Amino acid sequence: MKRRSAQAEACVARGIRPEFLDVEGERYGLPTFPYHLAPDGLATKRQLRKKGLRPGGQDIAAQILWWHGGGRGRSGRAGRSRRVAYLYDEAQAKPVRPMTPAKWGALSAALIARMTCPSCGQVKDYCIPRSIGECNECARGWS
């Protein structure tokens, strides 16, 4: 009988299935941890961004795997999917690049384009829904 590692036993004690525990990266090619069990010093892109950091070209250091779902989805098929979150080393992360005036201008132009109705040409105070392709007034025939 195969003996579980101390980390696997800790997972079981916390009610977490150690199915995705692969610290050496032998099974999945990268060091792999179950959900909520990543070691300190590793973070996802979103977690880095919250701290004002970015990966900065470094390779993926590890990953988190977990099962998502289990019921019937919109397609009507039963099942669940395996999800992944890549982790980066916080020590190698670089600060986020600051926004330049040119970037602010490009962002502003893009937002104005999203708020301009193609039918009436008016700039609205909301983004035009892509589902209807025009402002609410034009879609309802009010203008």
Same domain, 18 and 87: yes
Same domain, 20 and 89: yes
Same domain, 38 and 88: yes
Q: Into how many domains does the chain fold?
A: 2
- The answer to whether residue 19 is domain-embedded is yes
Tokens 């009436």 map to which residue? 120
- The answer to whether residue 63 is domain-embedded is yes
Domain that holds residue 108: 101-140
Strand partners, 54: 94
Same domain, 36 and 73: yes
Q: What pLDDT sits at residue 32?
A: 92
3-state DSSP assignment of residue 108: helix
Q: What pLDDT sits at residue 77?
A: 65
Same domain, 33 and 83: yes
Q: What pLDDT sits at residue 4?
A: 60
Q: What is the pLDDT along the chain (143 residues), one digit of tens a residue?
A: 355 667 667 767 776 667 788 888 888 899 999 888 888 999 999 999 999 999 999 999 999 988 887 766 566 666 778 889 999 999 999 999 999 999 999 999 999 999 999 999 999 999 999 999 999 999 988 75
How many whole angstroms separate alpha carbon 60 and alpha carbon 123?
42
Q: What pLDDT sits at residue 1?
A: 39
Q: How far is CA 26 from CA 20, 67, 79, in A?
A: 11, 20, 27
Same domain, 29 and 89: yes
Q: What pLDDT sits at residue 81?
A: 85
Same domain, 40 and 89: yes
